[in-house]
A and B are shown apart, each in its own frame.
Chain A
Amino acid sequence: MATPMFDEDNDTFVPPLLEPALAALREGLRSFLADPQQRMALRAELESFAGRPTPLTVAHRLGSTWGGRVLLKREDLLHSGAHKLNNALGQCALAKYMGLGNVLAETGAGQHGVATAIAGARYGLRVTVYQGATDVARQALNAQRMRLFGATLLPVEDGAGTLKEAVNAAMRAWVRCWQDTAYCLGSAVGPAPYPRMVREFQRVIGDETQAQLERLEIMQPDALLACVGGGSNASGFFTAFVDDPKVQLIGCEAAGAASLVNGQPGTLHGMESLILQTADRQVSETHSISAGLDYPAVGPWLASLKESGRLTPYAITDREALQALRECAELEGILCALETAHALAGAKRYLAKHRGATVVVCISGRGDKDLGIIGDAS
C-alpha cells in the first residue's frame, strides 16, 4: 500500500455500532452550520460568555531572551482557562439544537471536561465526564471544578488510566445511549465528523490571530507554534495560515507521546492517522508530564500536514517544557499550562536556529491546574 494521505473526513474505519450515532450527528451538524441564527448565537456566546476575542500579547522579554519577536495568542484568558471551551460551547449548542438533553465527554487533563461541564451548565444539559483514574489524581483541581459545575465524573481504571482509556470508555457508553445523548469529543481526533467539526469550532483562534497580526502590521509571521496532543488547538490555530507556505507551522509534542514524530500509519478510535504503536501493532502506552498531551495518536488533519511536509513536528522533553514554563512566568508574568509549555519550548528552540524571526505561540491554557506538578518537579 502506498503511503496514505490522511483525511479528516475519512469514515471508513468506524465500528458499525457507532454508525447510527454518527449519521445522526452528521445530519444535525449540517443543519446547525447551515443556520445563520445558530452561528450568530454561538458567536455571541463566545463573546459575551467566553470572553472572545482573546488578546494577542507581545512578549518583549521572552523575545529578547530567546532572540526574536515573540507573540502569544492568549487562549489562557478564555473563560475556564483554556481553548477547549470554543469547541465545548459549539458541540453543546449543537446538542441542544438536536434536542439531546445529555452530554458525555472524555478528558485528559480535565480542561475539556471542565469546558463541557461549563457549557452543559450554560445550556441546561446533563453532563457525564470520563477521565482516566491516573489523570483524576494528577489534575485534582479540574476534577473538583467539573463536579462544581454539576457534571458527573466517572474515573476509568482500565490500563494506564489516561486519555486513551477515557476515550474508549466514553465511546462504549455512547453506543448505548446515543439517541438521547451527545458525545462531546475534546480534540481533532476520532471518527468523522469529529476531526473536522472540532477544527471548525477552534478555527476562531487562528482567524482572530490573523486579523490581530494585520493590525500590528505583521503580515507574515515566520512560524506558528502550538502544542499537540490530539491536535485541537493546533488545528484551530493553523487553519487560517495553512495556505500561506511562507508561514512555517510547528507542532510541539511531548517526547514520550510524539505521534507526529514517531507514529506510524494505523487506526484508532475511528480514525486513520499516525499512531504510536509497538512492533506488534499494539497501541503504545505513552508518557508525558502533561496529561493533555498523553495520547498515542494525532488527528488526521495534522498527520496529513506532516506527511506532506507542510507541518514540522518537534518532540519536546518534560525538562524543556518545565524550563520554558518557568521562563514565561518569570519574564512575562504568565503561568501557562504544562501542555502549552511544550509550544513555548518549541519557540525557544526555533529562535535559537532562526535569530530575529517572528513567531506566534498559541497559549492554549493557563497553568493553575499544574502548580502541584510544577512544584514537585523542581
Chain B
Amino acid sequence: MTLEKTQTRSRPPVAQGTKPHKLGIYWTLGDPTLEETLAIAQALVDEGVDLLELGLPFSDPLLDGPLIQQSHHRVTTAGTTFNAVCSCLQQVTGYAHKHGTEVSVMAASQLLYDNTRRAALPTVDGLLITDISSHKMSPFPMPSPRVYFVSQEVVLSPAFKGLPNEPMSMIYLTRVQGITGAGQEASATTARAVAKLREWSQLPLWLGFGISTPQDLAQCMAAGADGGIIGSAFLAAMLPHVLASKGGGSKVPWREVVAEWLAPFRAANTG
C-alpha cells in the first residue's frame, strides 16, 4: 500500500524500482498519557509511518520484553480506563485514516473477553489478540478483522495447515524466537517461513519482534515480507521524553523527536 503524498505528510518519493520498506510502529495506548499518545501517533502519521500497532494497556503483558512491560505498567498504575483508551483510539484512528496510515490494535483476550467490551472498541483495520492459538478460529466474534499472529516455528513445523478461515487484515509473523526486545539476531529461517506462508495466503505479511534498525528492516524486505513493525527500539528512543513528561517536564516536541528517529529509516528507503 504505497500512500498518496498529501500536504501534511513528509514521506519522500521511493527510489525507482525498489519495493518501499513499509514501517509499522508499536505504542501502548495511554503512555505516558492519553493526550501524549495522540500527539505521538499524529507525529508518526505525519512522518509517513504506514501502520500503527496500538496496545491496549494490560496488568499482565505476558510476552513483552521489559521496556514494553513497563509501558503497560505506567498506564495501568495511572488508572487509565478502557473507555478513556477507546476515546483516544477513536481520535488516533480518525487522524491516521485521514492521512493514509493503517491502525491495528494489539490486546490480550482477557481485555476483550466480553461482548460489551468488544462492542465499545472502535473499529480499526485489524485486531491482534495476543493469546489465541494460531491454529484456532477466533473464539469470539471479532469487531475488526483478525491480525493473524503466528511464530516462525509454528509455520515451519510439518503440522502447519494454513490460516483459520475467517476475515483477516494481515499476517504478523514473529521474526525471532522469544519475546519482544530490540536487537535480537535475525533468524535464517525467516525467509523460509515467509515463503511457506505465501503458499497459503496473499495477505500483507509483516514481521515483528527484535527489529531495531534500518538494516533489520531491510532484512525483513529481503526475506520477502511487506513490512516490519518496531516496538521496543522506538520506545527506548522515546523513553527519556516519556519519563520527563511523566515527571511534569515541559511539553515534548514529538514531531521533531519522531522525525529525527525516523530519518535513518527514510534514508534507507530512498537509498
Residues of A that sit less than 8 Å from B by CB: 1, 11-17, 19-20, 23, 158-159, 164, 168, 171-172, 175-176, 265-270, 275, 277, 280-283
Contact = CB atoms under 8 A, between A and B. Distances in A.
Given A12-B139, A265-B113, A283-B59, A159 B82 contact: no
A264 B150 CA distance: 29
Contact of B58 (A11, A13, A158, A282): A282
A241 to B, nearest CB: 32
B131 interface: yes
Interface string B49-74: 00000000011101100000100010
B140 interface: yes
A269 B58 CA distance: 13
Contacts of B110: 266-268, 275, 277, 281, 283
Interface residues of B, number: 38
Interface in B121-139: 130-136, 139
B151 A20 contact: yes
13 contacts: A1-B114, A12-B139, A13-B131, A16-B133, A16-B174, A20-B154, A172-B179, A266-B110, A275-B110, A277-B110, A281-B111, A282-B58, A282-B76
B115 to A, nearest CB: 6
Given A266-B110, A267-B110, 19 more contacts: A11-B133, A13-B109, A13-B131, A13-B132, A13-B133, A15-B131, A16-B149, A16-B151, A16-B154, A19-B151, A23-B157, A176-B178, A268-B60, A270-B131, A280-B81, A281-B82, A281-B110, A281-B111, A283-B60
A18 to B, nearest CB: 8
A19 B73 CA distance: 26
B130 A15 contact: yes
A179 to B, nearest CB: 9
B111 A1 contact: no
A20 B153 CA distance: 7
A23 B109 CA distance: 21
A23 B159 contact: yes
Closest 4 CB pairs of A and B: A282-B59, A20-B153, A176-B178, A16-B134
Contacts of B58: 282
A19 B177 CA distance: 12
A12 B132 CA distance: 6
B62 A168 contact: yes
Nearest to B65: A172
A267 B131 contact: yes
Nearest to A14: B133
B82 A17 contact: no
B153 to A, nearest CB: 4
A19 B133 contact: yes
A175 B177 contact: yes
A275 B130 CA distance: 18
Contact of B113 (A16, A23, A168, A281): A281
Given A267-B108, A283-B59, A17 B151 contact: yes
A97 B108 CA distance: 34
Interface string B95-118: 000000000000011110111010
A270 B108 CA distance: 11
Contacts of A266: 110, 113
Contacts of A1: 114-115, 140
A265 B149 CA distance: 24
Given A1-B140, A23-B159, A265-B113, A17 B179 contact: yes
Contacts of A19: 133-135, 151, 153-154
Contacts of B62: 15, 168, 171-172, 269
Contacts of B150: 16
B179 A267 contact: no
A267 B82 contact: no
Given A12-B136, A20-B154, A280 B113 contact: no
Contacts of A15: 62-63, 130-131
A158 B69 contact: yes
Contacts of B130: 15
Contacts of A171: 62-63
A20 B157 contact: yes
Contacts of A275: 110
A172 B62 CA distance: 7
Contacts of B114: 1
B60 A13 contact: no
A172 B63 CA distance: 6
Nearest to A282: B59
A280 B110 CA distance: 10
Nearest to A19: B154
A171 B61 CA distance: 11
Contacts of B109: 13, 267
A176 B179 contact: yes
B104 to A, nearest CB: 16
A1 B59 CA distance: 24
Contacts of A158: 69, 73
A345 to B, nearest CB: 30
A174 to B, nearest CB: 10
Contacts of B135: 19
A275 B108 CA distance: 14
Given A267-B109, A281-B82, A168 B178 contact: no
Contacts of A164: 60
A17 B150 CA distance: 7
A10 to B, nearest CB: 9
Interface in B173-190: 174, 177-179
Interface in B153-177: 153-154, 157, 159, 174, 177
